């Protein structure tokens, strides 16, 4: 088992290994000792696969448990699901000494984290990612959120978990398209911080990739826990990607959207003279070989509309991520007027 300690305002461990979901009660007890109430919150897909194993382990270690299940999919990451969770916790009499357990992928983790951050003004929670994407990215770092009608992740909070348990065996049940979500985030990590990671991604060395991605994210989170500076580099591909997700009513998966977004943003950075290297061709080859479809069917104006909801906007400016080489990026501020042009030239491969 590989262990990382994140030295945030409230430090916590990330444990990565195999076949330890059945020991989750023991591992959670080390940081959140029983007796206390734990509510396991999961989606309809993960519930049938792993919830009982987790609940049995928690009960064996002295916890009083309950469970909330909501329909799987990005469409559940909304105010209605969030409010249902909050009301259920209140109905069950959860107090500040109790905790939540997020069992699932990015949607589950973001929702449960936001519920934990806001119920009684903040209670503890544990992340147990069951998707490759959640393991390499969203389960670590404390970014919690729900979607609003106008865009993705527009309501949220930075609220660090008490523990992250990543049992890589849970990824065995993922369909191929769900693996792509994680691959896109892993490629992003390689582009912004470590070019050598690409060879491990291509080789399918999932456990190493997760460990390296967590190590990369750890360094950015510790340097900028509140996500107002350097940590924004981890948003490479997301300004365009989140717009594509919203425009498609989330029928374009997160990984496909971010993959296309990285290519568009790399091309735009070069065409606008913000970097000396055009990485769009190299990224297109890498991502296509991994199974991504990179064609964008939406207009620059439509994407610009949703890009105006990007959290990297401050006043009349947005911070964009500029790739210098694979393995090194920098942040650059441009005006919102230039953002429109940034998207237009990025969409044009000529």
225-244 per-residue burial string, b: 16 or more CB within 10 A, e: under 16: bebeeebbbbbbbbbbbbbb
Rounded to two decimals, the pTM is: 0.97
Q: Which domains does the chain have, with CATH numbers?
A: 2-173 (3.40.50.1970), 225-347 (1.20.1090.10)
Contacts of 297 (CB under 8 A, 6+ apart): none
* pLDDT one-digit tens code per residue, 16-70: 999 999 999 999 999 999 999 999 999 999 999 999 999 999 999 999 999 999 9
Query: Strands, DSSP E only, in 21-95?
Result: 37-43, 64-70
* pLDDT one-digit tens code per residue, 308-347: 999 999 999 999 999 999 999 999 999 999 999 999 999 9
Confidence at 177, pLDDT banded by 50, 70, 90:
confident
Q: What is the pLDDT of residue 84?
A: 98
Q: What is the pLDDT of residue 10?
A: 95
Q: What is the pLDDT of residue 7?
A: 98
Average pLDDT over the chain, rounded to an integer: 97
* pLDDT one-digit tens code per residue, 84-133: 999 999 999 999 999 999 999 999 999 999 999 999 999 999 999 999 99
Closest by CA to 138, choosing from 92, 104, 115, is 104
* pLDDT score of 156 more than 90: yes
- Name the strands in the sheet holding 313-314, side by side, starting at the edge strand that comes first in the sequence: 313-314, 317-325, 328-335
CA atoms within 13 A on the CB side of 148: 9
Q: What is the pLDDT of residue 51?
A: 98
Q: What is the pLDDT of residue 350?
A: 80
Counting residues of the chain whose pLDDT is more than 70, the rounded percentage is 100
């Amino acid at each position: 088992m590989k262990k990382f300690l994140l030295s945030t305002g409230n430090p916590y461990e990330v444990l990565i290994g195999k076949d330890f979901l059945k020991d989750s009660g023991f591992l959670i007890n080390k940081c959140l000792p029983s007796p206390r109430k734990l509510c396991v919150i999961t989606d309809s897909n993960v519930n049938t696969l792993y919830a009982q194993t987790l609940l049995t382990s928690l009960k064996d270690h002295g916890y009083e448990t309950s469970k909330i299940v909501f329909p799987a999919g990005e469409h559940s990451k909304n105010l209605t699901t969030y409010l249902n969770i909050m009301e259920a916790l209140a109905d069950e009499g959860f107090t500040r000494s109790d905790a939540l357990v997020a069992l699932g992928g990015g949607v589950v983790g973001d929702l449960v984290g936001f519920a934990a951050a806001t119920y009684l003004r903040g209670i503890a929670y544990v992340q147990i990612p069951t998707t490759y994407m959640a393991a390499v990215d969203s389960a670590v770092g404390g970014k919690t959120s729900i979607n609003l009608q106008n865009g993705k992740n527009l309501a949220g909070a930075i609220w660090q978990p008490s523990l992250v348990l990543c049992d890589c065996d849970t990824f065995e049940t993922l369909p191929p398209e769900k693996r792509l979500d994680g691959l896109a985030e892993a490629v992003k990590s390689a582009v912004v911080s470590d070019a050598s990671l690409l060879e491990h991604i291509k080789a399918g060395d999932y456990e190493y990739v997760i460990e390296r991605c967590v190590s990369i994210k750890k360094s950015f989170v510790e340097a900028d826990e509140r996500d107002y500076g350097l940590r924004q580099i981890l948003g490479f591909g997301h300004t365009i990607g989140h717009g594509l997700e919203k425009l498609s009513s989330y029928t374009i998966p997160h990984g496909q959207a971010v993959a296309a977004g990285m290519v568009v943003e790399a091309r735009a950075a070069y065409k606008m003279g913000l970097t000396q290297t055009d990485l769009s061709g190299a990224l297109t080859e890498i991502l296509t070989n991994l199974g991504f479809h990179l064609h964008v069917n939406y207009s620059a104006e439509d994407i610009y509309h949703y890009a105006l909801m990007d959290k990297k906007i401050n006043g009349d400016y947005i911070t964009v991520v500029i790739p210098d080489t694979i393995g090194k990026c920098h942040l650059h501020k441009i005006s919102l007027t230039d953002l429109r042009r940034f998207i237009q030239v990025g969409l044009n491969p000529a």
